[in-house]
Amino acid sequence: TDRKITIAIDGYSSCGKSTMAKALARSLGYIYIDSGAMYRAVTLYSLRHGMWNQGEVDQERLAKDMPQLKVSFKRDDLGQLRTLLNDEDVEEAIRTMEVSNRVSPIAALPFVRSALTLQQQALGREKGIVMDGRDIGTTVFPFAELKIFVTARPEVRAQRRFDELRSKGDMTSTLEEVLTNLKERDHIDSTRAISPLRQADDARVLDNSELTLDQQDAVALSWARETIAQCSAPK
């Protein structure tokens, strides 16, 4: 029988990581975990508790609350994953531009990263998991059997995220603002001191600028099946 593996998907903002990860998990019968949702949930908490002042977060207050902060996931009736913050469903609340604009500084804080990394590693203990984020192949699961690094041109990614916000009825931001946010986050995420976004040496790279969702998912699934076959073959 096939061995279960760990699949790490990393890459820039809005390039199709979560769509790919969900499709893989569905096809393989694996668990899917959106690590970005965990950073977004902590960010939402900091905003709701008034921890921001003149563009700076009160690190001391956040660090004090961090041990009591619980991020978890549940499935709705349609099987879609929903993010919970201290048992409250915050799936919509964490996807706003307000959260997007604050999440990268929060994700650069060492005490936030260490707490969430431990939770992510615990979730992956049994293998049979697909996790997407920025540092999954480099820090969270450095021994993942399959690592995929996804990228696409910034303009393509901004247009995709913009269309997504519009389709959810979110009319608050322009395409220009979405592009600016995306470039800003890419910059902060790739230059921070701890676990910056970078391609793992053993990652397979997929530029999906010119690929449809079906095409990118097909490539990812073929890589996954190949890796599972290699790992399951008798030595």
Q: Per-residue x/- marks for ligand CDP, 118-137, CB under 6 A?
A: --------------xxxxx-
Residue 102 near ligand CDP by CB under 6 A: no
Least distance CB 13 / ligand CDP (angstroms): 3
Nearer to ligand CDP, 3 or 72 (CB): 72
Q: Per-residue x/- marks for ligand CDP, 172-191, CB under 6 A?
A: -------------x---x--
Which residues in the 204-233 window bind ligand CDP by CB under 6 A? 208, 211-213, 216
Nearer to ligand CDP, 3 or 184 (CB): 184
The terminus-to-terminus CA distance of the chain in angstroms comes to: 14
Residue 57 near ligand CDP by CB under 6 A: no
Residue 147 near ligand CDP by CB under 6 A: no
Given 5, 8, 19, 144, the residue binding ligand CDP (CB under 6 A): 19
Which residues in the 27-56 window bind ligand CDP by CB under 6 A? 35-36, 39-40
Nearer to ligand CDP, 2 or 202 (CB): 202
Nearer to ligand CDP, 168 or 229 (CB): 168
CB 124 within 8 A of CB 21: no
Phi/psi of residue 98, nearest 5 degrees: -60, -45
Residue ranges in contact with ligand CDP by CB under 6 A: 13-19, 35-36, 39-40, 103-104, 107, 132-136, 160-161, 164, 185, 189, 208, 211-213, 216
